[in-house]
Every structure is written in C-alpha cells, then in structure tokens.
Amino acid sequence: MNYDAIAVTVSQLNSYIKDKIAEDEALNAVVVKGEISNFKNHYTGHLYFTLKDEKSLIKCIMFKSYAERLDFELKDGMKVMVFGSVSVFERDGVYQIYVKAVKKDGIGDLYAAYEKMKAKLEEEGLFDEQYKKKIPLKPDVIGVLTSETGSVIRDIINVSTRRNPKTYIRLFPVPVQGSGAAEKIANGIRVMNEKNLADVIILARGGGSLEDLWPFNEEIVARAIYNSEIPIISAVGHETDFTIADFVADLRAPTPSAAAELANPDIYELKNKISTYNERMRISLKRKLEFMKLRYEKCISSVVFKDPLKKINDNYVELDRIIKLMENFIVSKIKETKLIFAQKVARLDNLSPLKTLTRGYCLTEKEGKIINSKKDLKTGDEIEIKFFDGNQNAKII
C-alpha cells in the first residue's frame, strides 16, 4: 500500500473534523449543564473554564463580547447551564463549547461545602487577626510543607538563597492533593511543632481547580494551622485562589515565590540599613555634643557677666559637676553605640557568603544563577566557580 498517496496532514485532518462537526445542526445550538472548574478570566476579557459532571468534562470558551453580557461572576464549583455551539480548535485538535450565554443552575457541592466550612470556622474565630502570630524577622530555619517534586520547592529554594545565601530550608514532603492529603498535611504541621523543626513554616502548592486545592479547605488542616505554635505562611494556588488555609494562616502569600520573599529578609538590604542607621547615629551624637557645648558656653558667659566675683565662686562646683555628668553620659553613649554596631557587623560578617568561601567552600554559578544540584548541569555547560580570592571559569566534561 502506498501510504504517501493517501496520507493527510494533521491540519487537514483537524480541518476535516471541524467541518464535519459544523455540518451537524444539533451541535450548532446546544444547552449543556454541569459544574464549572478551572475557571480563568483572561486579561483579554475572554473566559475559559471546564464544564464537568460525575463522569466527563468538556472545555469551554466565552469570548469577551458575550462575557460582557453576564450579570453575575462565574466561579469554580458553580453549577450552570450554558448555551452555545460545539466546534474544533484546529491548532490543538480539541473540541470545545463556544459559549454565548450562561444561566445559574445552583451551587456545586464542593463550593457549597467550602462556603459552609468557611462560615463555621469564621464564626469560631479561627480567622481573627488577634490570633495571628508575627513572622520572625530573620528565621534560622524555614520549614516547607509541599510536594518533594515539582517547581514549588525549587522556586522557594532559589528565591531564599538569592536573598540570603545562608538560608536553611527544611522540607517536610507531603502530598498536596488527592485522598488522604489533608491528614498528612495536618500531621506534618503537628510534627514540625512537636520537634521544633523550624522558626517559620511555608505551606505551599501550585495552582489548580477547586478539587485540586481541596485538602487546604479541610477542617483538619485549618485546625492544625490554628493550633501551630510556629508561624505559618500560606502560599496555596495562584494569586486569585483563596483557600480556608489562607484565612487561618498567620500570613498569606499570593504565590510560593512570594512566600519565600516574605520569610527571608534581603541580607544585603539589611546591611545597607545598618550602615544608614550608624551614620544617622553618628550625626545625631555630633549635633548633641555641639548643642551641649553651646549650652555650657552660655552658662559660663551668663555667670561671668552677672557677677564675676560672687557667682563664679558660688556656682563653680555645680557647673563642674554638671559638665562631668554630661561628659560621662556622652562617653557612655558612644561606647554603647560602638558595641551595638560591632555586634551587628560581626553578625553580618558571619552571614556573608565570602566568610564561607574563606573556609574552603566555593560557589558554582551558571549564567549568573547559583547551582544547587548536579541535575542542573549537563555536559558542555560553561560555569563560573567563585573562591574567596577570585573567580575561575570551567566547563563540564
């Protein structure tokens, strides 16, 4: 058989299927009911979502011109009836409903359960600001509860080490979706507290549908967060996703990367702040000395001109006492300021990556990014190795 003679291109096949579907009048005007999932409001104004029931799902798109006619907002978990036509998106070879109108058909079971649990816990006070714990300014250990695979943990590590090269990340791997995930997440929070494994905890996962994020809406997770003695930053889903864990946590971050920034101070920015404060203190002390000198000179001149023979003898001892007190106060303040500054400089020096390099360690970078694993390198990659006394280029063979 000559396959070349009968072969068609992918584009031709998709176009043929699209034409066949277009010829079916029953598919040109359909009313389909189901539950909304994976809803996305695109910046162009188009709405994208999946319509599903217990057994199947179908992708849907509602263009801006039709979306502007809606008198309510579409949300994940909402049960609706959509009117539109079925067609093929040739580029991806998928068929979908091009929606022209939407009518509410009740609230989905998951969404209803979410609202019910949210109302219950809010009434009990689990969301109250008075129970929120402060995130430590400079945590020594950051605990992360998330999947051990995927981009979330890599993003948190990359952001953390960039802001503070000496950051210590302690990963407690847990499933972030599916059956039993909520119990394992709650157990991870409890273990971290019982063994005091971190100064702050980041609870994170990437975006997803309401079903994917559901473990973070479970009561067992909400109460574990509330009962945690360690402050918890919630970074679940995308910026527009809100879970019950977000409301209970001590701080919500819109993304896992943002959570890493909130948990890690920028060590270089802190160093600049300390230098700025030191300069301000130096200037302040200088002005204080000048002011006290002026007051002293004024006192002397006042005594001399009022009664040079009597006042000088009567007040000499008192003036001398005041001057010594002032001098002792200034000397004490200068010593105290120098001690505080020395302690901060020593602490910054210990945090400096150069300090680590002088002990025989080195940093490996590729294209300006720190390499944390051999998996990030391949044969032929050009790298830069940083020693305490300079840099050296190398190539992976």
- Identify the domain containing residue 226 by its residue range: 113-127+136-263
Q: How far is 117 from 113, CA to CA, in rounded Å? A: 6
Which tens digit of pLDDT belongs to each residue from 164-191? 888 899 999 999 988 899 999 999 999 9
Measured between alpha carbons, how far is 49 from 45 in angstroms, rounded to an integer?
13
| Dist CA 370 CA 378 (whole Å) | 15
Domain count, the chain: 4
Residues 254, 118 within the same domain? yes
Q: What is the mean pLDDT of residues 355-375?
A: 73
Contact 281, 337 (CB under 8 A): yes
Lowest-confidence region among 232-241, 250-259, 297-306, 325-334: 297-306
Rounded Cα distance between 282 and 276, Å, is 10
Characterize the bridge pairing of strands 141-146 and 200-205: parallel
Residue 338 backbone phi and psi in degrees, to 5: -65, -40
- What confidence tier does 46 reach under pLDDT thresholds 50, 70, 90? very high
Domain boundary among 230, 263, 296: 263
Are residues 287 and 383 both part of a single domain?
no
- CA dihedral for 168, 172, 175, 177, sign (positive or negative): negative
Same domain for 247 and 199? yes
pLDDT at 231: 96
pLDDT at 316: 59
Under 8 Å between Cβ of 385 and 391: yes
> Among 3-12, 171-180, 267-276, 371-380, whose mean pLDDT is lowest?
267-276
Is residue 301 located within the same domain as residue 288? Answer: yes
Listed residue (338, 324, 393, 342) closest to 365, CA to CA = 393
Residue 310 and residue 382 share a domain: no
Residues 188 and 254 in one domain: yes
- pLDDT score, position 339: 81
327 and 248 part of one domain: no
Domain boundary among 228, 244, 263: 263
Q: Is the pTM of this model over 0.75?
A: no
**What's the per-residue H, E or C state across the chain?**
CCHHHHCCCHHHHHHHHHHHHHHCHHHCCEEEEEEEEEEEECCCCCEEEEEECCCCEEEEEECHHHHCCCCCCCCCCEEEEEEEEEEEECCCCEEEEEEEEEEEEEECHHHHHHHHHHHHHHHHCCCCHHHCCCCCCCCCEEEEEECCCCHHHHHHHHHHHHHCCCCEEEEEECCCCCCCHHHHHHHHHHHHHHCCCCCEEEEEECCCCCCCCHHHHCHHHHHHHHHCCCCEEEEECCCCCCCHHHHHCCEECCCHHHHHHHHCCCHHHHHHHHHHHHHHHHHHHHHHHHHHHHHHHHHHHHHHHHCCCCHHHHHHHHHHHHHHHHHHHHHHHHHHHHHHHHHHHHHHHHHCHHHHHHCCCCEEEECCEECCCHHHCCCCCEEEEEECCEEEEEECC
The CATH number of residue 50's host domain is 2.40.50.140
Within this chain, do residues 23 and 60 fall inside the same structural domain, yes or no? yes
Return d(Cα 40, Cα 46) in angstroms, integer. Answer: 9
183, 71: one domain: no
Tell whether 276 and 165 lie within a shared domain: no
Average pLDDT, the chain: 85
Question: For residues 36 and 51, is the Cβ–Cβ distance under 8 A?
Answer: yes
Same domain for 247 and 288: no
For the chain, give the longest Cα–Cα distance. 131
CB atoms within 10 A of CB 164: 21
Is 173 in the same domain as 196? yes
